[in-house]
Chains A and B, each alone.
Chain A
Amino acid sequence: MTRSLLSAADLDRDEATALLDAAVRMHAVQSREVKKLPPLRGRTIVNLFFEDSTRTRSSFEIAGKWLSADVINVSAKGSSVSKGESLRDTALTVAAMGVDLLVVRHGSSGAVQRVASWVACPVVNAGDGTHEHPTQALLDAYTLRGRLGELADRHVAIVGDIAHSRVARSNVLLLQTLGARVTLVAPPTLLPAGVGGWPCETDWDLDATLSGKAHGDVDAVMMLRVQRERMTGGYFPTEREYAAGYGLSPQRLDLLDEDVPVLHPGPMNRGLEISSAAADGPRSVVLEQVQAGVAVRMAVLYRMLAGAAEGAA
């Protein structure tokens, strides 16, 4: 296991597979009466969140607690950050308290990598700006594997606001590591600069992609949230026009086979990128993704913290 988990590219195929396998075992614990396992007893994990989060932070917290670690949440609001403390000082202060692992989210791309370079303990990236969110990619891969089996040679369409999505980048990297094929579908304004260098295909035509005419049959569709809070310019004319061109409407849903799972990392903008028919229909695996989030994060924490420190074994 890598010392820190900053990017989905930190995982090779063996390690990613080992993580997903461990997550299967961790998932079984969720249905038990006693949801507590001992391997991280006496370890301390700090969730250092400089950006709002409900599901990521709470699932890291639950994952840590079910493995018997002590988990402390530090958010920017109500901390010294609001008094003007620098990122470096905050990170070093928290790390100096004898923390075994930091889970960090920050609104700026690259901020988590900076934190990892300053502190001595391992760091997990829980989302940095528009850059990466590796544990989200792992839980998506876990959910896909649960539905599709092995992901080698499977074809996943990722649709929507790619430019502002750390989820998309981490997913492209991890899915390619696992041998799957990815097509990104978005209006040209919402494709990031340099997407030509990513290991995937791109398209502007959602209908042609979903029907399989453009890039071959689609095995899974991942809809991304339109991130209004990160949008500063005019990326598309109106929300109605975006929904018409790139929303997963009931009509588009009919282009897909019955067993094609629809993923969404949440929170969803219903009626914009995803219709309620798609979000609540039988193809939707949105709630499975949330469940998988805890299992995958338990696996990450277990594999990063339970064994001997590297070099000590």
Chain B
Amino acid sequence: MTGSLRAQSDPAHALLSAADVGRTLDRIAHQVIEHTAHTGFDLVLLGIPTRGVPLARRLADRIDRFADVRVPTGSLDVTLFRDDLRMRGVRPLGDTVEPEGGVTGRTVVLVDDVLFSGRTVRAALDALTELGRPRAVQLAVLVDRGHRELPIRADYVGKNLPTSLTQTVRVLLDEIDGTDGVYVTGDRA
């Protein structure tokens, strides 16, 4: 880690601390239960790589703990469906893992770390049609930083974080980064 990155990751400057991330996921899990209990929990959690995947698994663990239902999880790589593929160098691909039992006829909750322009979610909706036809699709994000470029909104939001376009939102997760936290770097315009 570089010196500046360590400073950015200083827990004192975290917009969400590790404990906050835990509490936020608790709340989202309760909300998902509340909104999907009537379907008999016929739902799957699909994480968008990279950090949406561990988030989806954590939500599934919590739903198991709170409601005693085991919800299948999977991952959905959206790279090949992006509308900006040709605007920069070639991107590496992530994993797509279909959840047990597939997605057709069920409620799919897409899970990602940050909701920004909405273009990733649009790509995810396209990628999802390749896997099947869900009964309904919902979106859960840990952070909504605004600046939408498409008519897309999240059903479950961990934290609304008003940012300027020059700022960068970093979500760190234990499974990938060794620690939990949400940080904003760069100047407010």
Contact = CB atoms under 8 A, between A and B. Distances in A.
Interface of A: 1, 18, 21-22, 25-26, 28, 32, 34, 36-39, 67, 302-303, 306-308, 313
B81 interface: yes
B189 interface: no
A21 B126 contact: no
A28 B85 contact: no
B80 A38 contact: yes
A21 B92 CA distance: 8
Interface string B82-111: 000111111111111000000000000000
A21 B94 CA distance: 9
B123 to A, nearest CB: 10
A38 B81 contact: yes
A66 to B, nearest CB: 11
Contacts of B86: 306-308
Contacts of A67: 80
Nearest to A23: B93
29 contacts: A18-B92, A21-B93, A22-B92, A22-B93, A25-B77, A25-B94, A25-B96, A26-B93, A32-B130, A32-B131, A36-B130, A37-B80, A37-B130, A38-B80, A38-B81, A38-B126, A39-B85, A302-B90, A306-B80, A306-B86, A306-B90, A307-B85, A307-B88, A307-B91, A308-B86, A308-B87, A308-B89, A313-B87, A313-B88
| Most chain B CB atoms below 10 A, which of A21, A25, A36 | A25
Contact of A34 (B80, B93, B130): B130
Contacts of B88: 307-308, 313
Nearest to B91: A307
Interface residues on B, range: 10 to 19
Contacts of A38: 80-81, 126
Interface string B114-145: 00000000000010001100000000000000
B12 to A, nearest CB: 37
Given A25-B95, A25-B96, A28-B96, A303 B90 contact: yes
A290 B120 CA distance: 34
A28 B97 CA distance: 9
Nearest first, the 10 A-B pairs at minimum CB distance are A307-B90, A25-B93, A39-B80, A37-B80, A313-B88, A307-B89, A303-B90, A306-B85, A313-B89, A34-B130
Interface secondary structure of A, over-half rule: loop
A308 to B, nearest CB: 5
Contacts of A302: 80, 90, 93
A69 to B, nearest CB: 13
Nearest to B126: A38
| Most chain A CB atoms below 10 A, which of B90, B91, B94, B95 | B90
A18 B86 CA distance: 18
Nearest to A37: B80
Nearest to A41: B85
A28 B126 CA distance: 17
Contacts of A36: 130
A306 B94 CA distance: 15
Contacts of A28: 96
Contacts of A34: 130
| Most chain B CB atoms below 10 A, which of A21, A28, A39 | A39
A306 B95 CA distance: 18
A32 B77 CA distance: 14
A36 B80 CA distance: 10
A47 to B, nearest CB: 22
A306 to B, nearest CB: 5
Interface in B52-89: 77, 80-81, 85-89
Nearest to A35: B130
Nearest to A28: B96
Given A306-B90, A308-B87, A313-B88, 17 more contacts: A1-B90, A18-B92, A22-B92, A25-B77, A25-B93, A26-B93, A34-B130, A39-B80, A302-B80, A302-B90, A302-B93, A307-B85, A307-B86, A307-B91, A308-B86, A313-B87, A313-B89
